[in-house]
Structure 1
Amino acid sequence: MAADARNPLTEAGPVTAAAAPNGAGPPRIPRPTADVGASAPHHAPEALLLADTSAPYGAPLEPAHGCWYPSADPGGRHVAFVCDRAGVPQLWTGPVDGAEVHLLDADPHPVTEVSWSPDGHWIAYTTAPGGGELTRVLCVRPDGTGRHLLAGGEVGTSALLGCWQHDGSAVAVTVTDPVPPRSAHAGPTAPEPPSASEAAHRDGHAVLLDAPASWRTAGRGPADEVASVQEPAPRTLSAYLVDPEGVGAPVLLASERGASTLRVCDLSRDGRLALLYRGPRGRREALVVRTRDRAVTCALPVADGDPWIGGFSPDAGTLWLRSDGGREHAALVAARLDPQGQLLGTTVVAQRPDCDLELLALGRDARRAVLVWNVRGVSELEMVGLTAAGRGPDASASPGAAPSGTAPASAGAARTVTLPHEVVTRIAPTADPDAPVVALSGSRRHPGVWWLPHGLPLRTPWSSRDEDAALAGRTPVRPLPMSPVARDGLVLGGWYYRAPGRSPGEPAPCVLHLHGGPEEQERPILEPLYLELLGRGLDVFAPNIRGSSGHGRSFVDADLGAGRFGAIDDVADCAAHAVVEGLADPRRLAVMGRSYGGYLVMASLVWHPELFRTGVAVCGMSDFATFFAGTEPWIAQSAAHKYGHPDRDRDLLRALSPMSRIEALRAPFLAVHGEHDTNVPPGESEQFVRAARERGLEAELLLLRHEGHDFRRADNRRLFRRTAADWMERHLVDRGREGA
């Protein structure tokens, strides 16, 4: 079944192969919003040599550090990974069975992704300069020399890491074209935009998709004016193959105007085909692109979540995908392709009736795979053999040969690996298909990297020990699963953390913590914020309300549009459940959350003003109009599918915005935001705090320096945790004693 690739903002039809105008140039990927033409400039990345900042790490290791996002070298005995042992996520390498580690990039810019080249000569990685949302891709040799910038160095651009060619000769990167100066977007007759105090407080151009060429106000008075300007020419995402040596010119693979995401996930062994991941959340799809002419040969729906959604068999006759197309839960799907990359048919080869395939990693030879299933928030890992369509797993395949079709693709018997901790976050295949490397998190350990030779989990010596998770009297707590029922009968989920030393029947002050996304999922992993709150005598309830992942497609989509009112009520219903169960004290409830969870905090405080004693919102949206006017264009593309279109659904979005009900706010309020956040600009917190103060309420804003939407620096994370915990303790524990 073909994907529904209809653009949710423009109603443009599905992506198909198309020729350049007037027959000039080869076919290419059409732009869903507008065709910029074959002659449109592509901002190809240029390599830039940087100073060597690698160093052996001689200082004692911090016991409470995390290691994640591993990528193995060709031999499978060394791993490149991200580690925050020096206070910020940086690029490191170390052996799977030895303790010696090496810091490859000592720059203070957080590292987010890592990929070791198949030939072992280079390590590509992504950094976020200044902790902001615009990223860049770099390369460095495994000994720390030759560090250089591959893409994303131009002001206003961003770059995303893709896959390597299988021989290691090139790496795929996706780059955005730069943001033009703001004056370029406003026509000569356009009035001046409103001041920062009236709009979105964004360092950049305003975005309101499909807006007319004039500023508008919502008619709510000067303090609540919402300004929007004509959408500038949509930014273009372009995917290239880049020579890590910097000798060959970049090769354009695909370009899409107005795209929300575009990532190259795999290339066929012979280089004929590329697998791209594209589309807004809720409508993700895999595109097969013919590299010689950039024609899209087929499109298939794939699941949200991890963007590494699959890869080709050795002969490219089968495409293995993690897909929930036409299904409630994501499964392993095999798509048969002809020699030109056209779709011949699909087969579900591995599925479970009640849970999602969350992670898929093909072995180096693409004849084995590691599957990770999300079973009510806990990971189950399996290793399976793969049989491509028409071929046995050990048959030699000639490049370009068509599948015979005499035998369907299949997965062999699964071998389950028992894991020492609850959640797998990343799989890194090695040369030995029976010895992958995985990143694990759990409720009683910091994130670490484990080696699985023949299914035996072995912790890498440079990952922190489980016993190091308990520091400064903060004892990790294994949470209890909870299943609240919403007022409309929908069964929700979540995890309840009981403060150490609490008597079983004693109702406690309780903080409801709401995750972001909305499609994220609360899972039993060690959260330092929860440790801080638990150490102050506060229980934590982390629910999964409608819209969360891990419960099937219908549950994820249950909050779309007007369904978001149900999500707001879910928060109140979860609080009531904790009270009815005898766990939470109804007089000492608080609500806290990050990103979309921050929005829910503000919404809960104004929809259910008598329920919570206080709230802490982190990087949350307070008004959808100003959010759409200030966020990044690709964020707006995806957000419109989840929340509503900023023009067509304006009334709904206004009704859902906490600022529209600010007069109902009664509780003290703390907002926390990163100064460089362009996903949810800081103005969203500022305007809610300002409005609360105007109404005589206690309200504060903590603005974290050198941070974006995610807080990555250890000192800022500590400041955030302590500030939030101090606030909660003062309003729930201290005032609880005063009222006793």
Structure 2
Amino acid sequence: MRDIERYLNIRSAYGGSLSPSGTLAFLMDTTGVPQVWTLSEPEAWPEQRTFYDEAVSFVSCSPTREEAVFGMDEGGDERMQLYLLDLDPDPTADPIAGLTLPFDISESDARAKHRGGTSGRSEPRPSDARAKHRWGGWSHDGERFAFASNRRDEAAFDVYVQGRDERGDEAELVHEGDGWLTVEGFSPDDSALIVTEAYSSFDQDVYALDLPSGDLTHLTPHEGTVRFLSATWAPDGRGIYVVTDRDSDLLYLARVGLDGALEPVVEDDEWNVDGVALDHDTGRAIYSRNVDGYTELTVGDLDGATFRGGRTLDLPPGVAGGVSFDEGARSFSLTVTGSVENANVHVVDVTSGERERWTRASTAGVPRESFVEPELVRYESFDGLEIPAFFSVPWAANERDGAVGDGVPVVVDIHGGPESQRRPSFYALKQYFLRRGYAVFEPNVRGSTGYGTAYAHLDDVERRMDSVADVRAGVEWLSRQPVVDPDRIVAFGGSYGGFMVLAALTEYPDLWAAGVDIVGIANFVTFLENTGSWRRELREAEYGSLEDDREFLESISPVNTVDAIRAPLFVLHGANDPRVPVGEAEQVAEAAREQGVPVETLIFEDEGHGVAKLENRIEAYSRIVAFLDEHV
């Protein structure tokens, strides 16, 4: 049997961006962490452009020059810095020439710390490495870019504009914020920016920031919680397109005028319209629908409040996104992935709709035909609510008639968020579990996105534990499946999913053979007290506030009922985690041990909210698999 290291070496290529010459810049994790690579034609040999030990988080090509900005943090601390990368360097130049990093590190120190740097000159843009920098896009003339940063106040984001030839400390502060601001892009004439402000995952506002005057115009005044997402300027600069659920349970595409008037453009009576991409020069547009987790893309043209000539693309079943138009919007790049397809970047011809895969990320010798496609199922929860889930069964189990008591073990993998959705994208660890004979069950419990606003709010604050009851109902459904051994069911999840694991183990201890908590919340009070100050208010909007709901938060915190746990527990965390601080792992592991629960812990000093580095992933998941093999 192929070992787990082989599966964890299955690569992903994604996040494509097209340069003016048609060069595709993208991220690929061939070295063990995502780095910037480029291609000049489909399936050519790619050229690696960055050579860091840390993961690169995005790359965005200039609209006018052969250069790009990429982002990178240190050790998973999420304090991303921005760097300018020359995509067309002098081939005789020293590949490290001109490289200086934040912190005023000398060039020689930077080599030692990051093992090289870039192929082509790479210069840091914002220079305050203690702060987060969130990319806001290039101006259309390629002379400037915008970003949001909490340089001035860690708990709030301001808006900055910077010239491409300026250093980070020369960026111009163009607007001071007092909350979670995001820059969504320059207007077609580069005179204004879209700025959004988030109060929670389900409540945002959209503003137009006039750069010459500094005036900020509020475009979306509203009462209650309303989502305004995927904001982009209209080609004429006199309006903004958004995806919103204003006066609707489902998201739809709308146009908001600079006077605040909102006009629906594309509505759907069954599924969310969850994103839009637009080329300002041509009006060419693409919107996506989330159809039971699967992506459907439609290409056409936006003209005022009308979407013209819509044509749905032929895509493999799965998830697709990350659109980047080429010059003239004749084609666009797109990341495509599916349950049995590792992520790759495709380029689509707008006129014909023909799609060509440009990258060929390796499957590390694991045959694609060995991967398992899930079945989309639904089960009834305690109150009659229908819960969707993806259920994957090992090939060998599919080929025989199972019987209760003679079935396979199951990993119940619960997504994080909770404002998220398990969708049919490629997950190497899942395929490895299936290869080892475990089935995998992935429920989208109440509180998940993708099924309407009402469904997403069903777990808010005092209804938090109803979502845990959905997990119990899922296990009861599994126990009725002949292929499943009900005595060998594992609770597995990360981040908020880690909380769900701990809550399931304490609320329903007799259901579980083992639990795996990855960067999970054990105590909502200490989590909210210690999470990054810039995100505390957004999290309180979902979970409840320390001021008003402390007693309730204590009552649902698994660390306070850990004496109920019966199943062995594996706890994994990153020491640099700014979202769920490592103290959450430490306190629940200690408390469980004191109750005599078999506990295994693994904390990485160079990781944050998850495990990014290949060598750490190999160690982490090798130990998790050994733990499950021993106890399950």
Q: Please report the TM-score for the alignment, with normalisation by the length of structure 1.
A: 0.76
> What's the secondary structure of 1:129's corresponding residue?
coil
What is the SS of the residue equivalent to 2:27? strand
Measure, in 1, the Cα distance between the counterparts of 2:489 and 2:233. Answer: 51
Structure 1 CA distance for aligned equivalents of residues 517 and 287 of structure 2 = 35
Matched, 1:481 2:376: yes
Equivalent residue number for residue 497 of structure 1: 392
- Are positions 1:349 and 2:295 aligned together? no
Structure 1 Cα separation of the partners of residues 460 and 619 of structure 2: 35
Whether the 8 Å CA contact 1:363–1:370 is kept in 2: the answer is: no
Code of the residue aligned with 1:319 in structure 2: it is I
Q: Deviations over 1:292-348 (max 9, x none)?
A: 2332212328999999713222321121112222221111101122xxxx32x1111
Tell me the alpha carbon deviations over residues 164-202 of structure 1, each in whole angstroms, 9 at most, x when there is no partner: 111111011212126xxxxxxxxxxxxxxxxxxxxxxxx
Give the aligned residue type for 2:395.
Answer: P
1:359 counterpart letter in structure 2: G
Q: How does 1:476-555 map to 2 (within 5 A)?
A: 476-502=371-397, 503-506=400-403, 507-555=407-455
User: Following the alignment from structure 1 to structure 2, what is the Cα–Cα distance between the partners of residues 664 and 708?
Assistant: 29
Q: Answer whether contact 2:188 2:280 (CA < 8 A) is retained.
A: no
Q: Distance in 2 between matches of 1:434 and 1:518?
A: 38
Rate the CA distance shift 1:486–1:643 in 2: closer, same or farther, 3 A. Answer: same
CA contact (8 A) 2:295 2:318 kept: yes
Q: What residue number does 2:12 align with?
A: 66
Going from structure 1 to structure 2, the CA distance change for 1:528 and 1:306 (only over 3 Å counts) comes to farther
Is it true that 1:692 corresponds to 2:592 in the alignment? yes
Aligned residue runs from structure 1 range 377-456, under 5 A: 377-388=293-304, 409-453=305-349, 454-456=352-354
> Which residue does the alignment assign to 1:313?
234
Question: In structure 1, what is the equivalent of residue 619 of structure 2?
Answer: 719
Paired residue type of 1:72? L
C-alpha spacing 1:483/1:251, structure 2 compared with 1 (3 Å)? same
The separation in 1 between residues aligned to 2:29 and 2:227, in whole angstroms, is: 22
| Corresponding residue number in structure 1 for 2:283 | 367
Match in the other structure for 1:224: none
Correspondences of 1:86-105 after superposition (within 5 Å): 86-105=31-50
Residue 473 of structure 1, CA deviation:
10
Are 1:266 and 2:185 matched, yes or no?
A: yes
1:289 corresponding residue in structure 2:
209
Higher-Rg structure is 1
Percent of matched pairs sharing the same residue: 26
CA distance in structure 2 between the aligned counterparts of 1:592 and 1:470, rounded to whole angstroms: 27
Moved more, 274-283 or 286-295: 286-295
Kindly indicate whether the alpha-carbon contact (under 8 Å) linking 1:469 and 1:476 is maintained by their aligned counterparts in 2: no
Paired letter, 2:354: L
CA contact (8 A) 1:175 1:239 kept: yes
Q: Which deviates the most, 564-573 or 578-587?
A: 578-587
Distance 2:149 2:233 in 1: 24
Cα distance in 1 for residues equivalent to 2:133 and 2:341: 32
Q: 1:133, 1:679 within 8 Å by CA — same for their partners in 2?
A: no
**Worse overlay, 696-705 or 378-387:** 696-705
Please state whether the residue corresponding to 2:219 is helix, strand or coil.
strand
Q: CA deviation at 1:370?
A: 0.9
1:276 aligns with 2:276: no
SS of the aligned residue for 2:529 comes to helix
Residue 548 of structure 1: how far off its partner (Å): 0.8
- Distance 1:97-1:304 versus aligned 2 partners, 3 A rule: farther
- 8 A contact 2:229–2:244 mirrored in 1: no
Please state how far the C-alpha of 1:420 moved relative to its aligned partner. 2.6
Taking the aligned partners of 2:387 and 2:221, their CA distance within structure 1 comes to: 26
CA–CA separation in structure 2 for the residues paired with 1:354 and 1:549: 14
More divergent stretch after superposition (267-276 vs 513-522): 267-276
SS at match of 1:597: helix
TM-score, normalisation: structure 2: 0.88
Between 1:555-564 and 1:722-731, the stretch displaced more is 722-731
- Provide the aligned C-alpha RMSD in A: 2.3
Correspondence for 1:576 among 461, 471, 476: 476
Q: 2:225 & 2:392 partners in 1: Cα distance?
A: 28
Q: Aligned-pair distance for 1:682?
A: 1.1
Shift of 1:474: 9.7
Say which SS state the counterpart of residue 333 (structure 1) adopts. strand
After superposition, the Cα gap between the structure-2 partners of 1:365 and 1:155, relative to the gap in structure 1 and judged at 3 Å, is closer
Distance in 1 (alpha carbons) for counterparts of 2:368 and 2:166: 51
Distance in structure 2 (CA, Å) of the matches to 1:301 and 1:515: 32
CA distance in 2, matches of 1:377, 1:94: 30
- d(CA) in 1 for partners of 2:535, 2:156: 13
Give 2:134's match in structure 1, choosing from 144, 147, 160.
160
Alignment partners' CA distance in 2, 1:421 and 1:349: 26
CA distance in 2, matches of 1:572, 1:583: 18
| Residue 70 of structure 2, aligned match among 122, 125, 136 | 125
Give yes or no for contact 1:497–1:541 (8 Å, CA) kept in 2.
Answer: yes
**In the TM superposition, what are the counterparts of 1:152-301 in structure 2 within 5 Å?**
153-177=127-151, 235-246=155-166, 249-257=170-178, 259=179, 261-279=180-198, 280-300=200-220
Q: CA deviation at 1:525?
A: 1.7
- The equivalent residue for 1:618 is 518
Change (3 A) 1:526 1:366: same
The structural deviation recorded for 1:670 is: 0.4
Structure 2 distance, partners of 1:385, 1:660, is 55
Q: Note if contact 1:545-1:567 (Cα within 8 Å) is conserved in structure 2.
A: yes
Mapped contact 2:19–2:66 kept (Cα < 8 A):
no
CA–CA distance in structure 2, aligned partners of residues 386 and 138 of structure 1: 33
Match of 1:150 in 2: 125
> More strand by proportion, 1 or 2?
2
The alpha-carbon deviation at position 96 of structure 1 amounts to 4.1
Q: Deviations over 1:568-621 (max 9, x none)?
A: 111101111111233422211110000000000000000001111110000000
Q: Which runs of 5+ in 1 are unaligned?
A: 1-61, 179-232, 389-408, 733-740
| Shift in Å, 1:63 | 7.9
2:332 maps to a residue whose letter is: P
Q: Secondary structure at the match of 1:293?
A: coil
Give the Å deviation of 1:386. Answer: 0.8
- Partner in structure 2 of residue 12 of structure 1: none
Deviation digits for residues 20-43 of structure 1 (CA, Å, limit 9, x no counterpart): xxxxxxxxxxxxxxxxxxxxxxxx
Aligned length: 585
Does the 8 Å contact 1:364/1:433 carry over to 2? no
Query: Which stretch of structure 1 is more off in the superposition, 604-613 or 295-304?
Result: 295-304
What's the secondary structure of 2:485's corresponding residue? strand
How big is the shift at 1:363?
1.8
Judged with a 3 Å threshold, the aligned counterparts in structure 2 of structure 1 residues 439 and 357 are, in CA distance, closer, same or farther, namely same
Pair 704,693 (structure 1): closer, same or farther in 2 beyond 3 Å: same
Distance change (3 Å), C-alpha of 1:513 and 1:275: same
User: Match of 1:451, as an amino acid?
Assistant: V
Pick aligned residue for 2:243 from 311, 318, 322: 322
Q: Tell me the CA shift for residue 477 of structure 1.
A: 0.4
Cα distance in 2 between the residues matched to 1:301 and 1:544: 32
The verdict on how the C-alpha distance between 1:635 and 1:470 changes in structure 2, with shifts beyond 3 A counting, is: farther
> Closer, same or farther in 2 for the Cα pair 1:301/1:439, shift >3 Å?
farther
Instruction: Give yes or no for contact 2:235–2:280 (8 Å, CA) kept in 1.
Output: no
TM-aligned CA deviation for residue 526 of structure 1: 1.7
Instruction: Give the counterpart letter for 1:482 in structure 2.
Output: V
Distance 1:449 1:421 in 2: 15
Q: Shift in Å at residue 246 of structure 1?
A: 1.2
Contact 1:470 1:476 in 2 (8 A): no
SS class of match (2:75): helix
- Segments of 5+ residues of structure 2 without an aligned counterpart are 1-7, 89-118
